[in-house]
A and B are shown apart, each in its own frame.
Chain A
């Protein structure tokens, strides 16, 4: 149980294009989803927290117009990197929690983005 998927697993795009990453909770309803970014050999950096039907809450320093998050249903959240640039290249990981207490975050397998 508590499986989270991400699609695509990797993507290469040209500078200036937009890329959408999907995060799905496969066997539970996710009350809250999180988006992280991870640089090589570093820890996870929380980008934003999203609750179904509400606007995402972004961490300080994260541009909300650059990283658009939509949490349209209890099983799907999307992250769109708009007008991507090479510095946006990174490993993006989502996680999801279930239930009112939301004790444990379950992570997706990650999406590697390379912007040329």
Chain B
């Protein structure tokens, strides 16, 4: 069965400091991995994805994520956090082997960047 775990309900970081939002996954085959961000009362915005190739993926707004197959992780990172990065972040996975396009979402991590 496919699953995604975001172990932290909330991450607090000071503006200008690096941030990491953790994500681990479980699929039977090779994964497609995604990060989305959600601002209050809004839909999800696509940040970045890993399909194949380079393990370090760069996305929107200065975010990046590193695919680690041995640790089955896909942590989201940013070198210098902004107050405007405060939002709810979702990691999602899809098994490349399945014909279904369904995404499995993690429970979400709230990022709070303090000035």
Contact = CB atoms under 8 A, between A and B. Distances in A.
A104 B42 contact: no
Contacts, number: 52
Interface in B13-45: 32, 34, 36, 41-45
Interface residues of A, number: 24
Nearest to B48: A104
Interface string B55-88: 0000000000000000000000000000000000
Given A108-B43, A109-B42, A43 B90 contact: yes
Nearest to B9: A41
A108 B41 CA distance: 11
Interface of A is mostly: strand
Interface in A39-87: 42-44, 46, 49
A46 B49 CA distance: 20
A112 interface: yes
B43 A43 contact: no
A103 interface: yes
A71 to B, nearest CB: 14
B49 A103 contact: yes
B33 to A, nearest CB: 11
Given A103-B49, A103-B51, A106-B46, A43 B105 contact: yes
Contacts of B90: 43-44
Given A97-B101, A105-B103, A107-B36, A43 B108 contact: yes
A56 to B, nearest CB: 13
B76 to A, nearest CB: 16
Interface string B97-110: 00011110111100
Interface in A1-31: 2, 4, 6
16 contacts: A34-B101, A43-B105, A43-B106, A43-B107, A46-B102, A49-B102, A93-B43, A93-B44, A97-B101, A104-B46, A105-B46, A105-B103, A106-B46, A107-B43, A107-B44, A110-B43
